[in-house]
Chain A
């Protein structure tokens, strides 16, 4: 409860800061919108050339992409801590975080919040609606809740992997270059998983489970019964990876050496 109210306090503060710079906010909003539009056109062009891929139709693939954008947007808004090493370890900002009576990871999530990323989620939903209507998908009342569950699961998968990566900074001083590579790998999750060979499929399911951000949960909405088990594993995998990441984090904080001053 306390954490929820702290969350809203920070969020209010965030909005206030953003509103202070009106022109900046406007420009940012427009550029985000343009970025999303370009993204959308790009997908349509790409998928315009393929009609069937390993038994997946063009519209199904567009749907998967649309779904993927939603948890990805949530991740971008709250867990995008790619600059953790530089900001908090090298510059020693973690000192300040550690002198406050709130869990350190939670504080960093709040400080690095970027709510404008949520716009990407809106694009994702539009894409899903477009693809869904062409596929004549049937929806039930409970699908909304399943959708929310899967989106949160997907976000936690992303968050888990990237938080774990950030904790590497506690053990090694060097700035790691794994982050950009991981962004690339994460993109594989937005394509149908069975187009890859067995090893990659295994990796994307159990090691770096990015398939749980795109393909698996989408399969449920697309009515692909053979994937249902995986679909419903989404929240489980999300929670497992996230909890693991938090454990790693807590162990890492104990090893924090601080920056000299």
Chain B
């Protein structure tokens, strides 16, 4: 199978100048500026196979959007090799973009003033889609995303959820084999999110569409992607399956105790010092969360319950968000 995306030692540097403070500083800036080179994306390499759904995650400013913009041909890389759908995005921009679809969650791709179907018609022309292909393919897309009733409304009158579904449909007019989604579910309610996820899964199965998705909503990734690429300060810190990440980092359970009296960290630590436990203060008063290895679960519960008076106990799976937060705090993935 051909690789949809091949990236090797990709780097993007931005030159920016930091302004000095005060009026005198502004005058000095007129003549000499303090230039600083910021490496937004720092020598990253990865490949994505045709038909994969990959989650591209990272904190704000980690370089996600910059990467996506280089992969879509908007920005020129400073150095490194990019090959997307067998083409160099920036060099052959006009032929290249014919083979990708792009959705930027924070920016509209549609024309603000005109009805959605008119936007679609313009895009159909721009992407040179034949009437027959349009009817076949888009008929299905419009039905699945349930946007039929919205087609004759101008974009500015749509709600965010309605608009987002239309954006997604617009990005698929030419049925591209590769789809870039930059925060497609930002600010959407649960129902719309579910609908969009379902739809993405469906087109992935039906057309073997490759999807690269950035998001801050980890549940999107859990629902869609088998593979995640995690970025921090312009470098890839993890590239692999979500399952693997969970097994290595999310082993064990979280047990939340709510005590009827005040308890200190030291007391709990002393009580379970020989077991693999980490205690953390919970969000409510008198509640403590124990992060426990599987072998010690029954021991921990046993000791705590016999020693203290308990109001409530909850046992949770460790959430992916928690795992990711831990990884960011430590800065790298080991294992």
| A residues adjacent to B (C-beta < 8 A) | 2, 5-6, 9-10, 13, 16-17, 92-96, 98-103, 254-258, 260-261
Contacts and interface: CB of A to CB of B under 8 A. Distances in A.
Contacts of B104: 95-96, 261
A95 B126 CA distance: 16
B81 interface: no
Contacts of A98: 72-74, 93, 97
| 3 nearest CB pairs, A to B | A99-B102, A9-B125, A101-B98
Contacts of B97: 98-101
Interface stretch (B42-50, B114-122, B246-254): B114-122
15 contacts: A9-B121, A10-B122, A13-B122, A17-B114, A95-B74, A96-B109, A98-B72, A98-B97, A99-B73, A99-B100, A101-B95, A101-B98, A101-B126, A258-B69, A261-B65
B90 interface: yes
A257 B14 CA distance: 8
B280 interface: no
A40 B102 CA distance: 49
Contacts of A6: 125-126
A149 B157 CA distance: 44
B100 A258 contact: no
Contacts of A257: 14, 75
Interface of B: 14, 65-66, 69, 72-76, 90, 93-95, 97-98, 100, 102, 104, 106-109, 111, 113-114, 118, 121-123, 125-128
B74 A258 contact: yes
B269 to A, nearest CB: 45
Residues of B contacting A: mostly: mixed
Given A254-B90, A256-B74, A258-B74, A95 B118 contact: no
Contacts of A9: 121-122, 125
A16 B76 contact: no
Contacts of B125: 5-6, 9
A235 B307 CA distance: 95
Contacts of A102: 94, 126
Nearest to B73: A98
B107 A96 contact: yes
A254 to B, nearest CB: 5
Contacts of A256: 74-76
Contacts of B75: 256-258
A257 B69 CA distance: 10
A168 B123 CA distance: 29
Given A5-B125, A16-B118, 5 more contacts: A93-B107, A98-B97, A99-B100, A101-B128, A254-B90
